[in-house]
Amino acid sequence: KEGLCFHLFSRTRHQDMEEYRAPEMLRSPLEDVCLHTAHLLWQRHAAQGAAAGGPGGEDIAEWLATAPQPPEAVAVRNAVDLLKVLGALTPRGEISGLGVKLANLPLPATMARSVIWGSLLGCLDEVLAIISSSSGRDPFQLPSD
- Alpha-helical (H) ranges within the chain are 11-16, 24-27, 30-47, 57-65, 73-86, 97-104, 109-121, 124-135
Residue 89 has φ and ψ, to the nearest 5°, of -120, 145
Confidence label for 101 from pLDDT (cuts 50, 70 and 90): very high
pLDDT band at 139 (very low <50, low <70, confident <90, very high): low
pLDDT above 70 covers a percentage of the chain that reads 87
Query: Residue 33 phi/psi, 5° resolution?
Result: -60, -45
pTM of the model: 0.74
